[in-house]
Amino acid sequence: MKTYGKRFGFMNNPAVAAEIASLDAKKDCQRIAHLLTAYEFSWDLTRSLEVALFYTYGSDTVASLLDKTGEFEAHGQKRYDDTRLLIAHFMDTGWEHGEGARALERMNKTHSNYRIPQDDFHFVLWTFIDFPIEWMANYARRAMTAHEQQAWFNFWIGIGERMGLTNLPATKAELDAAVDAYCQQHMVPNTASARVAAATVRIMENWLPKPLRGLVNPSVYSLMEDDRFIAAVSQQRPSKAFATMVRSNLKLLGKVRKVWAIGAYPQSVKSTLNRTYPGNQYEIEQLQPVHLQRREARAVDNAVD
pLDDT in tens, 92-128: 999 998 999 999 999 999 999 999 999 999 999 999 9
Q: Which residue stretches of the chain are H helix?
A: 14-22, 29-35, 42-56, 60-69, 71-74, 76-93, 98-111, 118-138, 146-162, 172-186, 191-205, 216-222, 227-232, 240-259, 290-304
Would 209 be classed as within a structural domain? yes
Would 290 be classed as within a structural domain? yes
pLDDT given at position 36: 98
Is residue 304 scored above 70 in pLDDT? no
pLDDT given at position 91: 93
Asked if 19 contacts 2 with a C-beta cutoff of 8 angstroms, the reply is yes
Is residue 301 scored above 90 in pLDDT? no
Residue 169: domain span: 14-304
Would 8 be classed as within a structural domain? no
Is residue 16 scored above 90 in pLDDT? yes
Would 190 be classed as within a structural domain? yes
Find the mean pLDDT for residues 4-23. 97
* Residues 212-257: tens digit of each pLDDT: 999 999 999 999 999 999 999 999 999 999 999 999 999 999 999 9
- pTM for this structure? 0.95
Q: Does residue 296 or residue 143 have the better pLDDT?
A: 143
Would 85 be classed as within a structural domain? yes
Would 4 be classed as within a structural domain? no
Q: Domain count for the chain, please give it.
A: 1
The whole-chain average pLDDT of the chain stands at: 95
Would 222 be classed as within a structural domain? yes
For 30-59, the DSSP string reads: HHHHHHIIIIISHHHHHHHHHHHHHHHTTS
Beta bridge partners of 11: 7
In percent, the amount of the chain with pLDDT more than 90 equals 91
- CA 225 to each of CA 119, 134, 173, 212: distance values in angstroms, whole numbers, following the listed order: 22, 11, 20, 23
Would 245 be classed as within a structural domain? yes
